[in-house]
Structure 1
Amino acid sequence: MLLNIMLKEIKQNFRDVKGTILMTLFPFVLMIILGTAFSGVFGEGETTKIKAKVLYKNEARQAVAEGFKQLVETLKENGMTFEENLDETSALDSIKAGKYSCYVVLKDDEIIIYKNEKLDLEANIVESVFKAFIDKFNLMSEIVKYKPEAAKYVLSSEGVNAVERTTLDKKKSPRAIDYYAVTMVSLIIMYSSMAGMYSILSEKTRKTENRLLIAPISKNKLLIGKMLGTIVSTILQLTMVIIASKFILKANWGEDILTVAIILITEAMAFISLGVAVALLFKRESAANGILNTVIPAFAFLGGGYMNIEDIGSEALLKIANISPIRWVNIAILNIIYNNDYSGVSTTLAINVTSIIIIIILCVLLFRKEEA
C-alpha cells in the first residue's frame, strides 16, 4: 500500500506538465541567462584575484620571518590585503566583526590562524596557502639539516617539484555558469515545497481526500507515502537538470558527486516536508501559496541564489543571511567542489535532518487533526 501511494504521487507529478517544466526546464534556462549575464562579474577571461583581507603578527626567527615576508609580497600581487597587527585582542575583535578573513600569528615552530566563518571560503584559501608554505619550509629545514649543499640546488631548480603545492588558479574558481548551476538547483529544490503542498491540497480539489482518509491504511503511512513519492519524483527531475547542466553547459559539479547529492536530497526532503506542513496548517491553496512564495524568494536572496551575498559588503546582511538554509547548502557544496573543504557538510546536514524530523512530526500531528 505504501508503494502504491508512492507510485500514485510520482505519476501525478509527472502528469503535471506545468510542474515538470518548472522543475526541469526553468532552472536550466535560468542557469544560461544568469551565467551569461554575470560572466563578467566572475572575472571570466581575466586573471583570478583572491580578495581576502588578512591581519598578521610576525614573531618568528629571521629565516622563517623572511620567508613569510616573501610569501606576503607574492600574495599581495594576487589581490590579497595584508596588515600587521601586534595586538591580538583588537585583531580578534576585527575578525569577529567580519572586517578581515583571518588573523595569522607566525611563530618559530607554528602558524596559528584565526578564521572568520562568515568569510569561510576566503579564509580557507589563506589557510591552504600557509599549509603549502609550512610544507616547503619544513622540507628546506630538513635539507639544510642533512645536506646543506642541496638547498641551493632545490631553490634554484625551477623544474624540480620538491614539494606538493596548492595552486590557486582560475580552474579552481567557479565561473558564473558553475556558480548558478549550484544555486539554481538549490533554488528549484525550495520550489519543490510547492509539490509537497499540492500533494495534500490536490486531494481536496479532486474530492478524493475523504476516500483516502477512510482507506484501510495507516494514516501515517499514507502521509509518508505521499511525501516519499513527491521526494522521488523531485529527485528524478533534479537529476535530469544536473546531468543537462554538466554535459550541455559544462558546469563543474566536482568529483565527489555523492556528498553533493546527499546534501541536495536532504534539502529536498526538508522543503517538501515544509510544503506538506504549510498545506495542512493553512488548508486553503491561496494562503499556502502566499506563504511559500514569500519565504522562498527571501531565503533564495539571503542564500546567494540570485547573486553572491558577500559581494554586497554588508556585515548586518551577512549575519541575517545565516538564517537561510539555502546559504548553508550553497556554501557547503561550493567549498566541496572548489576547495575540497568538508568542514561545512556536517553543519548543513544537521540543519537539514533536524528540520526534516521536526517538520515530519508536525505533519503527523496536523494530519491526525485533519482526520478527526
Structure 2
Amino acid sequence: MSSYDYYGVSMVILSALLIIMTATNAFMEGRVKQANIRMIYAPIPKFEIYLSKIISTYILGTLAFSSILIIGQYFFYINYGGTNLPYILLIVNMLVLFGSCFGTMMCCLLGDEEKASSISQLPVLLFSAFGGIFFSVYGLGKMVAAISCLSPVRWIMECAFRIIYDNDFALLLPVTFSLLGASIVCIVICQLTFKPEEFTC
C-alpha cells in the first residue's frame, strides 16, 4: 500500500465524517433560519423539517463523494478497490448518512449552529486520530493500538482496506448496519428534542 493510496482512502473517510458541519449549516445557519420562519406556521409535522435537512445534506454528500471516488480511481489512479469500488461507495455513503443525522441531532440538542459545529468536531477529530486517519497508530505502542479499537473510524478504515487489498467482506455488513443503526438513533433523538421555534430564532 502506497501512502498515496492510504491517504486517498483515509482523507475521503475524514471528509465524509466532516459532512456533520454541512448538516449543521444547512439546518441552523443564520441566513437559513431567517428564511425558514414560515415552516413554524406550516401545517406539517415537525419531523418533516429536520428530515428535509438530513435528506438534502445526504443527497449532496452522496453525489459529491461518489464523484470523488469515481474520479479518484479512474483519473488519478487511487486504489479504491477496482471492481470492488461499489462497496467502498456504500461504506462512504453510509458514513455520509450518519454524519448528516449526527450534525442535525447536535443542532436539535444544542439549538445553536455554532455550538453544534464546534462540539461535533471534537469526537470526529479524536476518533479520526485514534482510528488511524492521519497516521498509523500501531507505531505508538500497544496501549494506543488497544485504545484505537474503541474508535469507530478505525473499523471503517479496516473494513475499507480489507475490501480493497484482501477482497475480504467480513466487516462490510457489521460496519454498514452499525452506521445505519447509529443514524436511526440520531433521528429518534432529533424527534424527541427538536423544537421548531429554535429553528428560526
Question: So what's the TM-score if we normalise by structure 1?
Answer: 0.50
Q: Give the aligned partner of residue 269 of structure 1.
A: 97
Measured against aligned partners, the alpha-carbon deviations of 1:329-348 in whole angstroms (never above 9, x if no partner) come to 11101001101111111221
The residue identity in structure 2 corresponding to 1:339 is D
Secondary structure of 2:18's aligned partner: helix
**Structure 2 CA distance for aligned equivalents of residues 211 and 285 of structure 1:** 19
Q: Give the aligned partner of residue 57 of structure 2.
A: 230
2:72 maps to which of 237, 242, 245: 245
2:6 maps to which of 174, 179, 199: 179
Secondary structure of 1:256's aligned partner: helix
Structure 1 stretch displaced more, 314-323 or 334-343: 314-323
Q: Give the aligned partner of residue 102 of structure 1.
A: none
Q: Does the CA-based 8 Å contact 1:200-1:280 persist in structure 2? A: no
Measured against aligned partners, the alpha-carbon deviations of 1:11-40 in whole angstroms (never above 9, x if no partner) come to xxxxxxxxxxxxxxxxxxxxxxxxxxxxxx
Question: So what's the TM-score if we normalise by structure 2?
Answer: 0.89
Measured against aligned partners, the alpha-carbon deviations of 1:220-250 in whole angstroms (never above 9, x if no partner) come to 1222122111100011111222123213321
Matches for 1:23-172 after TM superposition, within 5 Å: none
Secondary structure of 2:135's aligned partner: coil
Q: Give the aligned partner of residue 157 of structure 2.
A: 330
Measured against aligned partners, the alpha-carbon deviations of 1:121-168 in whole angstroms (never above 9, x if no partner) come to xxxxxxxxxxxxxxxxxxxxxxxxxxxxxxxxxxxxxxxxxxxxxxxx
Q: How many equivalent residue pairs? A: 197
**Structure 1 CA distance for aligned equivalents of residues 30 and 118 of structure 2:** 19
**Structure 2 CA distance for aligned equivalents of residues 278 and 204 of structure 1:** 19
Q: Give the aligned partner of residue 298 of structure 1.
A: 126
Q: Does the CA-based 8 Å contact 2:66-2:89 persist in structure 1? A: no
- In the TM superposition, residue 371 of structure 1 has moved relative to its aligned partner by 4.8
Specify which structure has the bigger relative contact order, considering alpha-carbon pairs within 8 angstroms and separated by 6 or more residues. 2
**Structure 1 CA distance for aligned equivalents of residues 39 and 45 of structure 2:** 10
Identity of aligned residues (%): 23
Secondary structure of 1:207's aligned partner: helix
Unaligned regions of 5+ residues in structure 2, if any? none
Unaligned regions of 5+ residues in structure 1, if any? 1-173
Q: Which has the higher helix share?
A: 2
The residue identity in structure 1 corresponding to 2:60 is S
Measured against aligned partners, the alpha-carbon deviations of 1:146-192 in whole angstroms (never above 9, x if no partner) come to xxxxxxxxxxxxxxxxxxxxxxxxxxxx2111111111110001110
Q: Does the CA-based 8 Å contact 2:101-2:187 persist in structure 1? A: yes
Structure 1 stretch displaced more, 194-203 or 267-276: 194-203
Q: Which has the higher strand share?
A: 1
Q: Give the aligned partner of residue 84 of structure 2.
A: 256
Q: Does the CA-based 8 Å contact 1:197-1:288 persist in structure 2? A: yes
- Bigger Rg over Cα: 1
**Structure 1 CA distance for aligned equivalents of residues 25 and 160 of structure 2:** 29
